[in-house]
Amino acid sequence: MKRTVYFYILIGLSLVATLGRFYQAFLAKVKDLTSQLTGDASVDALLKATSKVVTAQHAFETGFFYRTLVLLMLVSLVVSLIYLIRKDSKALFLYLFYLGLTFIEKVISVINSYSFSRLYTDAAVQASARMGTWISVGVSLVVLVIFLCVLAYANKEPKPSDDSL
């Protein structure tokens, strides 16, 4: 664990993202969109469907399973930071555990997006909701790969030099 500056930055960025998840799981309130009806039948139908989706997502994100997942993520990050401060190599494994948990969270979000998108009656809106989830997952996977590459680069062993000539 020679180069830890990279690791501190990765843990800091992950901590910010996990605190956002923590807020969503424990502190966020669901907003009622049906109070903003416009009088136009198609717009009002979309608002009602969106309200159902937001309520279903909020119910999932405040459920026991998701809260447990977020707490595991937060605990693994904090313990990883503690081990990093102590210069212990367990920090790397705990951070890899955290990255695995984020991957699991993204897989669950894809599965849930398909069930939540069925609440929309319009096929185009369903497709755009699913596409938004896939874009989010794609960006998250790119960030995950970047984080793994930074960890691999920062923790690689230096090659011995042949200056003995």
Number of structural domains (the chain) is 1
- Out of 35-49, 69-83, 107-121, the most confident range is 69-83
Regarding predicted confidence, which is higher, 155 or 123?
Answer: 123
Query: Does 138 fall in a domain?
Result: yes
At residue 15, the pLDDT reads 93
Query: Does 165 fall in a domain?
Result: no
Residues 15-26 pLDDT 10s: 999 999 999 899
Average pLDDT over residues 55-69: 87
* Average pLDDT for the chain: 84
Q: What range does the domain containing 37 cover?
A: 5-154
Residues 91-139 pLDDT 10s: 888 999 999 999 999 888 888 888 888 877 778 888 888 888 889 889 9
Query: Does 161 fall in a domain?
Result: no
Query: Does 159 fall in a domain?
Result: no
CA 69 to chain centre: 11
Residues 82-92 pLDDT 10s: 998 998 888 88
The amino acid at 49: A
Sorting pLDDT into bands at 50, 70 and 90, what band is 142?
very high
At residue 78, the pLDDT reads 94
Rounded Cα distance between 122 and 133, Å, is 17
Query: Does 160 fall in a domain?
Result: no
Decide: 116 and 129 in contact? Cβ < 8 Å.
Answer: yes
At residue 87, the pLDDT reads 86
- Measured CA angle at 63 (ends 57, 64), to 5 deg: 155
